[in-house]
Chains A and B, each alone.
Chain A
Amino acid sequence: GQNIDQPTEMTATEGAIVQINCTYQTSGFNGLFWYQQHAGEAPTFLSYNVLDGLEEKGRFSSFLSRSKGYSYLLLKELQMKDSASYLCAVAGSWGKFQFGAGTQVVVTP
Protein backbone atom coordinates (compact mmCIF):
# COMPACT_ATOMS: atom_id res chain seq x y z
CA GLY A 1 0.00 0.00 0.00
CA GLN A 2 0.96 3.65 -0.06
CA ASN A 3 1.94 5.28 3.17
CA ILE A 4 3.63 8.40 4.47
CA ASP A 5 4.59 8.50 8.15
CA GLN A 6 5.74 11.42 10.25
CA PRO A 7 5.56 12.07 14.01
CA THR A 8 2.40 13.66 15.33
CA GLU A 9 3.98 16.32 17.51
CA MET A 10 7.36 17.71 18.52
CA THR A 11 8.23 20.35 21.09
CA ALA A 12 11.39 22.45 21.15
CA THR A 13 12.60 25.69 22.70
CA GLU A 14 13.23 28.95 20.93
CA GLY A 15 16.67 29.01 19.31
CA ALA A 16 16.99 25.23 19.21
CA ILE A 17 17.04 22.83 16.25
CA VAL A 18 14.31 20.34 15.43
CA GLN A 19 14.40 17.51 12.90
CA ILE A 20 11.15 16.14 11.51
CA ASN A 21 11.44 12.71 9.92
CA CYS A 22 9.27 11.38 7.13
CA THR A 23 9.23 7.87 5.73
CA TYR A 24 7.27 6.94 2.64
CA GLN A 25 6.20 3.98 0.58
CA THR A 26 4.57 5.01 -2.68
CA SER A 27 4.04 3.33 -6.03
CA GLY A 28 5.84 6.12 -7.91
CA PHE A 29 8.18 8.94 -6.98
CA ASN A 30 8.57 12.32 -8.66
CA GLY A 31 9.76 14.36 -5.72
CA LEU A 32 9.19 15.05 -2.04
CA PHE A 33 7.82 18.33 -0.74
CA TRP A 34 7.66 19.93 2.68
CA TYR A 35 4.91 22.43 3.45
CA GLN A 36 4.22 24.57 6.50
CA GLN A 37 0.66 25.11 7.66
CA HIS A 38 -0.38 27.50 10.41
CA ALA A 39 -3.68 26.82 12.13
CA GLY A 40 -6.63 27.83 9.96
CA GLU A 41 -4.47 28.69 6.98
CA ALA A 42 -3.45 27.12 3.70
CA PRO A 43 -0.21 25.12 3.39
CA THR A 44 2.77 27.06 2.04
CA PHE A 45 5.77 25.58 0.27
CA LEU A 46 9.04 25.14 2.18
CA SER A 47 11.29 22.81 0.23
CA TYR A 48 11.55 20.20 -2.52
CA ASN A 49 13.88 17.23 -3.04
CA VAL A 50 13.94 14.99 -6.08
CA LEU A 51 17.55 13.78 -5.89
CA ASP A 52 19.32 12.31 -2.87
CA GLY A 53 21.04 14.76 -0.61
CA LEU A 54 20.56 17.95 1.32
CA GLU A 55 18.80 21.12 0.14
CA GLU A 56 19.37 24.22 2.25
CA LYS A 57 17.18 27.32 2.28
CA GLY A 58 18.05 29.72 5.05
CA ARG A 59 17.03 28.28 8.42
CA PHE A 60 15.34 25.31 6.77
CA SER A 61 17.05 22.28 5.22
CA SER A 62 15.60 19.10 3.78
CA PHE A 63 17.26 15.77 3.12
CA LEU A 64 16.22 12.89 0.91
CA SER A 65 17.29 9.25 0.59
CA ARG A 66 15.27 7.60 -2.15
CA SER A 67 16.70 4.12 -1.50
CA LYS A 68 15.53 4.30 2.12
CA GLY A 69 12.25 6.08 1.42
CA TYR A 70 13.27 8.69 3.95
CA SER A 71 13.37 12.44 4.26
CA TYR A 72 13.81 14.93 7.05
CA LEU A 73 13.16 18.63 7.50
CA LEU A 74 15.60 20.48 9.73
CA LEU A 75 14.51 23.73 11.34
CA LYS A 76 17.36 25.74 12.84
CA GLU A 77 17.33 28.72 15.19
CA LEU A 78 13.71 28.11 16.02
CA GLN A 79 11.45 31.12 16.39
CA MET A 80 8.02 31.35 17.97
CA LYS A 81 6.50 31.92 14.54
CA ASP A 82 7.74 28.46 13.50
CA SER A 83 5.01 26.91 15.65
CA ALA A 84 2.93 25.22 12.95
CA SER A 85 2.16 21.91 11.32
CA TYR A 86 4.74 20.58 8.86
CA LEU A 87 3.49 18.38 6.06
CA CYS A 88 5.54 15.85 4.12
CA ALA A 89 4.16 15.14 0.63
CA VAL A 90 5.20 12.81 -2.18
CA ALA A 91 4.50 13.44 -5.86
CA GLY A 92 3.68 10.01 -7.23
CA SER A 93 2.99 8.80 -10.72
CA TRP A 94 0.67 10.58 -13.17
CA GLY A 95 -0.26 13.54 -10.99
CA LYS A 96 -1.07 11.73 -7.75
CA PHE A 97 -0.02 13.40 -4.53
CA GLN A 98 0.05 11.95 -1.06
CA PHE A 99 0.47 13.87 2.16
CA GLY A 100 1.47 12.71 5.59
CA ALA A 101 -0.83 13.60 8.48
CA GLY A 102 1.50 16.43 9.52
CA THR A 103 3.81 17.09 12.46
CA GLN A 104 2.72 19.77 14.90
CA VAL A 105 5.79 21.67 16.09
CA VAL A 106 5.37 23.61 19.31
CA VAL A 107 8.06 26.19 20.06
CA THR A 108 8.32 27.22 23.70
CA PRO A 109 10.04 30.33 25.08
Chain B
Amino acid sequence: EAQVTQNPRYLITVTGKKLTVTCSQNMNHEYMSWYRQDPGLGLRQIYYSMNVEVTDKGDVPEGYKVSRKEKRNFPLILESPSPNQTSLYFCASSLVSEETQYFGPGTRLLVL
Protein backbone atom coordinates (compact mmCIF):
# COMPACT_ATOMS: atom_id res chain seq x y z
CA GLU B 1 0.00 0.00 0.00
CA ALA B 2 1.31 3.42 -1.02
CA GLN B 3 1.74 5.51 2.09
CA VAL B 4 3.65 8.02 4.15
CA THR B 5 4.41 6.90 7.69
CA GLN B 6 5.47 8.98 10.67
CA ASN B 7 6.74 7.95 14.07
CA PRO B 8 5.96 8.52 16.80
CA ARG B 9 2.32 9.53 16.45
CA TYR B 10 2.25 11.15 19.88
CA LEU B 11 5.11 12.47 21.96
CA ILE B 12 5.39 14.31 25.26
CA THR B 13 8.85 15.61 26.07
CA VAL B 14 10.62 18.27 28.12
CA THR B 15 12.40 21.43 27.08
CA GLY B 16 15.88 20.81 25.73
CA LYS B 17 15.68 17.05 25.19
CA LYS B 18 16.64 16.29 21.60
CA LEU B 19 14.12 14.35 19.59
CA THR B 20 13.64 13.01 16.08
CA VAL B 21 10.40 12.42 14.23
CA THR B 22 10.81 9.95 11.41
CA CYS B 23 9.06 10.11 8.04
CA SER B 24 9.16 7.44 5.38
CA GLN B 25 7.43 7.03 2.01
CA ASN B 26 7.25 3.98 -0.25
CA MET B 27 6.20 5.71 -3.47
CA ASN B 28 9.68 6.61 -4.78
CA HIS B 29 8.77 10.29 -4.49
CA GLU B 30 11.47 12.88 -5.06
CA TYR B 31 9.83 15.67 -3.06
CA MET B 32 9.26 15.57 0.69
CA SER B 33 8.20 18.29 3.10
CA TRP B 34 7.51 18.93 6.79
CA TYR B 35 4.68 21.13 8.08
CA ARG B 36 3.42 22.19 11.43
CA GLN B 37 -0.23 22.94 12.02
CA ASP B 38 -1.42 25.30 14.73
CA PRO B 39 -4.97 26.54 15.39
CA GLY B 40 -5.82 29.57 13.28
CA LEU B 41 -2.53 29.45 11.40
CA GLY B 42 -3.02 26.52 9.09
CA LEU B 43 -0.17 24.42 7.77
CA ARG B 44 3.20 26.12 7.69
CA GLN B 45 6.14 24.66 5.83
CA ILE B 46 9.21 23.97 7.97
CA TYR B 47 11.68 22.34 5.56
CA TYR B 48 11.44 20.58 2.25
CA SER B 49 13.60 18.42 0.04
CA MET B 50 13.55 18.29 -3.75
CA ASN B 51 15.70 15.15 -3.83
CA VAL B 52 18.37 13.20 -1.96
CA GLU B 53 20.90 15.50 -0.28
CA VAL B 54 18.88 18.59 -1.35
CA THR B 55 17.04 20.38 1.46
CA ASP B 56 15.77 23.91 1.85
CA LYS B 57 14.07 26.12 4.41
CA GLY B 58 10.36 26.74 4.39
CA ASP B 59 8.62 29.57 6.21
CA VAL B 60 9.31 28.46 9.80
CA PRO B 61 12.66 26.60 9.93
CA GLU B 62 14.00 28.01 13.21
CA GLY B 63 14.66 25.32 15.81
CA TYR B 64 14.46 22.44 13.34
CA LYS B 65 16.89 20.39 11.27
CA VAL B 66 16.33 17.82 8.55
CA SER B 67 18.36 15.42 6.47
CA ARG B 68 17.71 13.48 3.28
CA LYS B 69 20.32 10.76 2.99
CA GLU B 70 18.01 8.36 1.17
CA LYS B 71 15.02 8.94 -1.04
CA ARG B 72 12.43 7.31 1.20
CA ASN B 73 13.32 8.95 4.55
CA PHE B 74 13.12 12.55 5.70
CA PRO B 75 13.53 12.84 9.49
CA LEU B 76 12.74 16.03 11.40
CA ILE B 77 15.13 16.81 14.24
CA LEU B 78 14.48 19.14 17.16
CA GLU B 79 17.90 19.62 18.78
CA SER B 80 16.59 21.55 21.79
CA PRO B 81 12.78 21.57 21.83
CA SER B 82 10.95 24.48 23.40
CA PRO B 83 7.28 24.84 24.40
CA ASN B 84 6.54 26.97 21.32
CA GLN B 85 7.26 23.89 19.22
CA THR B 86 4.24 22.15 20.68
CA SER B 87 2.21 21.45 17.59
CA LEU B 88 0.79 18.90 15.16
CA TYR B 89 3.43 17.92 12.60
CA PHE B 90 2.78 16.48 9.15
CA CYS B 91 5.20 14.98 6.71
CA ALA B 92 4.21 14.89 3.04
CA SER B 93 5.65 13.62 -0.22
CA SER B 94 4.97 13.99 -3.93
CA LEU B 95 6.52 12.77 -7.16
CA VAL B 96 7.89 16.24 -7.84
CA SER B 97 7.25 19.54 -6.08
CA GLU B 98 4.40 20.69 -8.34
CA GLU B 99 2.37 17.52 -7.93
CA THR B 100 -0.19 16.38 -5.36
CA GLN B 101 1.26 15.83 -1.92
CA TYR B 102 0.39 12.78 0.16
CA PHE B 103 0.40 13.35 3.87
CA GLY B 104 1.44 11.15 6.75
CA PRO B 105 -0.96 10.65 9.68
CA GLY B 106 0.62 13.39 11.79
CA THR B 107 2.67 13.56 14.98
CA ARG B 108 1.23 15.39 17.94
CA LEU B 109 4.08 16.87 20.01
CA LEU B 110 3.82 18.44 23.44
CA VAL B 111 6.93 20.13 24.87
CA LEU B 112 6.72 20.85 28.59
Q: CA A99 – CA B101 in complex, angstroms?
A: 12
Chain B at the A interface: SS class:
strand
Q: CA A75 – CA B106 in complex, angstroms?
A: 26
Chain A at the B interface: SS class:
mixed
Q: Shortest distance in angstroms between A9's beta carbon and chain B's nearest beta carbon?
A: 12
- A44 an interface residue at 8 Å Cβ cutoff? yes
Report A36-75 CB contacts with B as 1/0, cut-off 8 Å.
Answer: 0000011111001010000000000000000000000000
Contact of A44 with B103 in the complex, beta carbons under 8 Å: yes
- List residues of chain A with CB within 8 A of the CB of B59: 96, 98
How many cross-chain pairs have Cβ atoms below 8 Å apart between A and B? 58
Residues of B within 8 Å of A, CB-based: how many?
25
Contact of A98 with B45 in the complex, beta carbons under 8 Å: yes
- List residues of chain A with CB within 8 A of the CB of B41: 101
Q: Shortest distance in angstroms between A64's beta carbon and chain B's nearest beta carbon?
A: 14
Contact of B45 with A97 in the complex, beta carbons under 8 Å: yes
- B98 an interface residue at 8 Å Cβ cutoff? yes
Contact of A45 with B45 in the complex, beta carbons under 8 Å: no
